[in-house]
Structure formats: structure tokens, C-alpha cells
């Protein structure tokens, strides 16, 4: 999990978290988020992802302290619990996947923010998102097979998912799905954005030679 991009690094140096308002402000500083109070007890506030409506940060008061529930990956879950007495299995949530952070002054500020950042990354991650990011990395003048894109996205077994995701590509101008071909280098007969002929034109415009609707993978493949 990558915490140390510019966005999170800036956050770690910014907001100091002591109150519920501080936690809400930090949660809302992540992209595409909003605050929700879905429960009868108004003191429970959730910071959700706008598109999926999934929560990555739950903020509430319990036993005189502000508590934060955050999603956690298995490899970090027990580390945080063993490092801090005030990081506990998630209160009122799945204890395998959530931790509770008690803001009692014993947990380092940077680690609180790191755990929230990890929760955000976990909740916003999806195979489709990773597929689109992988396709963006195919350089101009090159192609990749469905299997190669699946590998780049972290799962060699989801070649079929690659095809499904590219057929629903929400931003073909920036997610160059025309650079993806099958295992033989063949173009897609049902290319979603104009058919095989359009895919061929786009590839040829980048200097890729197409013969019989097929690309030489040894020459252009990544």
C-alpha cells in the first residue's frame, strides 16, 4: 500500500488531529469525499467516497474520547494493534478488517493520519480502477495483451475482467484501450469506440504497423 505520495505527505504535515472537527476536516481533505450522519446517534459521523458511498472513516465519541474507525489491510492490522494500546479491533465493525483508534494522546499524529490514508486507499481500490491505471501506462507506439494488462493490474487471472472493463471505458481519451490486443496481437472485432477499423486507425496513427488486423507483439508489445 502506498501512503507516501505527495497528497498524503502534505496531509501528514498539515492538520493536527485532536477533536472530532479535526478528524472530519482531515477525512474530507481526501479527493471525492463527503460527510454523512446516517445513524440515530448524531455523534457518529462517516466520511464516505462520493461515487461508491463507501465509508473509510467513522468518527464518534466513546468513554470520553474521540474514536476513529478505519479500514486496515491484514498485514498492518496486528502491527498497529501491537504498537499502540489505543488501537483496538474495530468497534461495531468487522474486527478482521477494521481498527479503532482512540484519540487519547498516545498514538503518534503521523501514524493516525497514515492509518486513515491507508483506509482511504483500501476503500477506493478496485480491480477496474487498477485496470484503467495499467492501461494508462501503455506507452504511445506500443500495445499490451489482455493478460499483460491483468498482470500490470496485479492479478494475472483477470484477463476477462480487463476486456469487460475496457468495453465500459469511461474516458477513452485518457485511457487508451485501443492499445490493448489479444494474445495473438489481434485487434478487437467489437472495439467499443468505433469498431476494429477505428482501433486500426488509432494504432497506425501512432506508428504501429497493422497487418490483417494483427500487430507484431515481438515488435510492439510490452
> What does the pLDDT look like over 75-90, one tens digit per residue?
899 999 999 999 999 9
Domains and CATH numbers, the chain: 6-124 (3.90.1150.30), 127-220 (1.10.10.10)
pLDDT at 14: 46
Give the residue among 169, 167, 138 at the shortest CA–CA distance from 151: 138
pLDDT tens figures, 88-126: 999 999 999 999 999 999 999 999 999 999 999 899 888
User: 42 pLDDT exceeds 70?
Assistant: no
Give the residue among 135, 154, 153, 151 at the shortest CA–CA distance from 143: 135
| Cα dihedral 66→71→73→78 (10° resolution) | 30
- Half-sphere exposure of residue 55: CA atoms within 13 angstroms, side-chain side: 18
User: 11 pLDDT exceeds 70?
Assistant: no
- Half-sphere exposure of residue 98: CA atoms within 13 angstroms, side-chain side: 16
Tell how strand 180-181 and strand 144-145 pair up: parallel
Q: Rounded to the nearest 10 degrees, what angle do helices 159-167 and 127-136 cross at?
A: 80
User: 151 pLDDT exceeds 60?
Assistant: yes
Taking the C-alpha atoms of residue 19 and residue 181, their distance in angstroms, rounded to an integer, is 52
Question: In this structure, what C-alpha cell is assigned to residue 167?
Answer: 468495453
Mean pLDDT over 119-147 rounds to 93
Give the residue among 146, 143, 194, 147 at the shortest CA–CA distance from 166: 146
pLDDT at 53: 93
Query: Which residues make beta-bridge pairs with 221?
Result: 143
Give the residue among 51, 16, 20 at the shortest CA–CA distance from 37: 20
Question: In this structure, what C-alpha cell is assigned to residue 118?
Answer: 491507508
Backbone angles phi, psi at 185, to 5 degrees: 85, 10
pLDDT tens figures, 188-209: 999 999 999 999 999 999 999 9
pLDDT at 52: 87
More confident residue, 96 or 3: 96
pTM of whole model > 0.75? no
Mean pLDDT over 9-35 rounds to 76
Amino acid at each position: 500500500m502506498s501512503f507516501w505520495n505527495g497528497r498524503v505527505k502534505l496531509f501528514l504535515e498539515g492538520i493536527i488531529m485532536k477533536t472530532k472537527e479535526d478528524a472530519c476536516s482531515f477525512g474530507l481533505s481526501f479527493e471525492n469525499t463527503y460527510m454523512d450522519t446516517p445513524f440515530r446517534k448524531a455523534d457518529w459521523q462517516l466520511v464516505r467516497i462520493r461515487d461508491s458511498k463507501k465509508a473509510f472513516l467513522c468518527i464518534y465519541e466513546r468513554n470520553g474520547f474521540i474514536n476513529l474507525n478505519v479500514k486496515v489491510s491484514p498485514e498492518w492490522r496486528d502491527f498497529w494493534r501491537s504498537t499502540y494500546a489505543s488501537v483496538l479491533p474495530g468497534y461495531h465493525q468487522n474486527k478482521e478488517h477494521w481498527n479503532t483508534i482512540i484519540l487519547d494522546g498516545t498514538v503518534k499524529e503521523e501514524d493516525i493520519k497514515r492509518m486513515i490514508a491507508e483506509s482511504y486507499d483500501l476503500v477506493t481500490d478496485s480491480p477496474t480502477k487498477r485496470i484503467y491505471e495499467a492501461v494508462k501506462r501503455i506507452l504511445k507506439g506500443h500495445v499490451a495483451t489482455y493478460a499483460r494488462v491483468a498482470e500490470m493490474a496485479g492479478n494475472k487471472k483477470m484477463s476477462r475482467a480487463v476486456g469487460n472493463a475496457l468495453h465500459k471505458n469511461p474516458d477513452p481519451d485518457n485511457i487508451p484501450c485501443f492499445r490493448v490486443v489479444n494474445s495473438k496481437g489481434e485487434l478487437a472485432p467489437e472495439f467499443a469506440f468505433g469498431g476494429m477499423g477505428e482501433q486500426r486507425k488509432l494504432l497506425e496513427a501512432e506508428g504501429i504497423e497493422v497487418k490483417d488486423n494483427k500487430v507484431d507483439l515481438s515488435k510492439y508489445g510490452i
